[in-house]
């Protein structure tokens, strides 16, 4: 009996594999899979047009993108605060309060889709949405182009890079290119992954093992430790009914697809620099990392986890903080 239970985890799934008989399963493939880590380090270097990055950085901090010249991208995605504003909900034009927690802009380039509900499939597409959102920037391309076009210096920068000058698509391109430069490589954990076994303490390493064993890694994996799939919030228990006061934003991906099965489904957020991006979840309901881990274990894993293990996992999460422009965040 137990021999069946202890058999490698792929054995029960062979039944399904029959339907995919064209795929050959080789022993070497299995060995390789077992040797590999589910998390991969962030590339140290990005190859981007430095002129576009520089222009995008200016635009990212340019408050003229908003209706009343008060809000820049950086207002809610503060690069000194882990790419967030550390508020449950951001403040938009005219003091309007947002309805969803602002995710970090760092490593957003590694996310397979943008926004909690994944409604933008690219950074370019993403950039246009807050500009038009009445609560966020409350502006439109026409005004933005006319305001930016009136700036001689900025216009010259555009003309230098783009033959057609200040255009919505060029603004999007510049901002998106800058955002692609916002990666945080060389975290302690990445250094560990790259072979530096002393980069992590014994506790942190133990925390990583628990992170994998308890199943956190089932969703938080890949280069961005998340950000490459959707998952229902509340797999093993109903989170939202326990929390109370549901909003339309809580419907998550359903707001995009209108599929009943997409209700309460969100993009799995990246855990990169997670120690810096308090508060947590789309509703900003978890004020500390410990709290967030507790909620995740309870509702997503649905299994008992000793407090000591939880603390070790939190310790591990702190090793995911990387560097930006060569300096720790």
Partner 1 sequence: MKVPALSVSRPVLLYGTVVTVLIGILMLLVAKTRTVDFETHNEIVNLLRQLKQLDAEWNADVLRSKMGLNIDYDPVASPLPVIEGLEVALAERTRKLDETSTRVRTELNKMLDAHRELIARKTATIEQFKSQNSILRNSLHYLPVAADDLGSGAISAALPAAKRAELETAASGLLSATMTYLHIADAARRERVVALGRALSEGSAQYPADVRERINIYLAHVSTVLRQDDIGKQVLAELAAVPTANSLDTLTDTYAAEHEQLLTGQQRYRGLLIGFSTLLLLLLAYYGWRLVKSYRLLNRTNGDLRQANRLLKESQLQLVQSEKMSALGQMVAGIAHEINTPLAFVKGTLDVVKENLALFDGLAQSSHQVALWLRGSTSDKSVMVRNFDRVEKMAKEAVEEKVIEETTRLLQNGTRGIDQISEIVINLKNFSRLDRARSVEYDVREGLESTIVIAKNVLKNKIVIEREFDEIPAVICAPSQINQVFLNLITNAAQAIASEGRITLRTMMYDKETIRIEVEDDGAGIPPEVLPKIFDPFFTTKEIGKGTGMGLSISYKIIQEHGGRILVDSEPGLGTTFSVLLPLQPSRQPDADEADDWLEAA
CB of residue 30 to partner 1, shortest distance in Å: 7
Q: What kind and span of H or E run contains 204?
A: helix 202-213
- Beta carbons of 100 and 279 less than 8 angstroms apart: no
Could you tell me the smallest distance in angstroms from the CB atom of residue 236 to partner 1?
A: 6
For residue 9, state whether it binds partner 1 (rule: CB under 8 A). yes
Question: What is the Cα–Cα distance from 157 to 272, expressed in whole angstroms?
Answer: 33
Q: How far is the CB of 308 from partner 1 (least distance, A)?
A: 14
Site string for partner 1, 199-238 (x = CB under 8 A): --------------x-x--xx-xxx----xxxxx--xx--
Instruction: Return all residues near 33 (Cβ < 8 A) that are at least 6 apart.
Output: none
Q: Give the bridge partners for 266, in sequence order.
A: 231
State CA 266 to chain mean position distance: 11
Place of tokens 């979840």: 281
- Binds partner 1 (CB under 8 A): choice among 159, 196, 201, 259: 259
CB 189 within 8 Å of CB 208: yes
> Candidates 24-32, 55-63, 99-107, 179-187 — which segment interacts with partner 1 by CB under 8 A?
24-32
Nearer residue to partner 1 within complex by CB, 6 or 325:
6
Interacting residues with partner 1 between 282 and 321 (CB under 8 A)? 301-304
Q: How many CB atoms lie within 10 A of CB 142?
A: 9
**By CB under 8 A, residue 68 contacts partner 1:** no
Structure tokens at 174: 């510049």
Active site residue 203: no
List CB contacts of 79: < 8 A, sequence separation 6 or more: 105, 106, 182, 324
- For residue 96, state whether it binds partner 1 (rule: CB under 8 A): no
Contact between 11 and partner 1 per CB under 8 A: yes
Give the interface with partner 1 as residue ranges (CB under 8 A): 1-2, 4-6, 9-17, 19-20, 23, 25, 29-30, 33, 36-40, 112, 121-122, 213, 215, 218-219, 221-223, 228-232, 235-236, 257, 259, 261, 265, 301-304
């Amino acid at each position: 009996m137990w021999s069946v239970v202890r058999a490698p985890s792929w054995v029960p799934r062979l039944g399904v594999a029959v339907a995919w008989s064209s795929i050959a399963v080789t022993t070497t493939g299995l060995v390789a899979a077992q040797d590999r880590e589910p998390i991969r380090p962030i590339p140290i270097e990005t190859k981007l047009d430095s002129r576009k990055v520089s222009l995008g950085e200016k635009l990212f901090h340019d408050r003229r993108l908003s209706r009343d010249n008060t809000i820049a991208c950086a207002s809610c995605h503060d690069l000194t605060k882990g790419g967030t504003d550390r508020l449950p909900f951001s403040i938009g034009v005219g003091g309007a309060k947002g309805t969803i927690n602002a995710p970090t802009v760092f490593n957003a380039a590694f996310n397979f889709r943008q926004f909690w509900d994944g409604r933008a499939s690219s950074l370019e597409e993403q950039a246009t949405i807050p500009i038009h959102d009445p609560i966020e920037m409350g502006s439109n391309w026409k005004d933005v182009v006319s305001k930016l076009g009136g700036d001689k210096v900025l216009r010259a920068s555009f003309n230098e890079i783009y033959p057609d000058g200040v255009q919505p698509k060029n603004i999007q391109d510049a901002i998106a290119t800058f955002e692609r430069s916002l990666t945080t490589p060389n975290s302690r954990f990445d250094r560990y992954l790259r072979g530096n076994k002393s980069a992590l303490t014994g506790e942190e390493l133990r925390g990583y093992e628990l992170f994998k064993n308890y199943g956190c890694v089932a969703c938080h994996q890949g280069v961005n430790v998340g950000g490459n799939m959707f998952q229902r919030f509340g797999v093993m228990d109903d989170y939202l009914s326990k929390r109370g006061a549901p909003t339309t934003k809580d419907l998550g991906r359903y707001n995009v697809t209108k599929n009943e099965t997409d209700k309460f489904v969100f993009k799995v957020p990246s855990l990169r620099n997670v120690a810096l991006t308090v508060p947590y979840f789309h509703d900003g309901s978890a004020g500390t990392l410990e709290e967030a881990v507790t909620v995740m274990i309870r509702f997503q894993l649905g299994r008992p986890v000793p407090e000591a293990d939880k603390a070790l996992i939190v310790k591990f999460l702190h090793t995911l903080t990387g560097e930006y422009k060569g300096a720790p965040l």
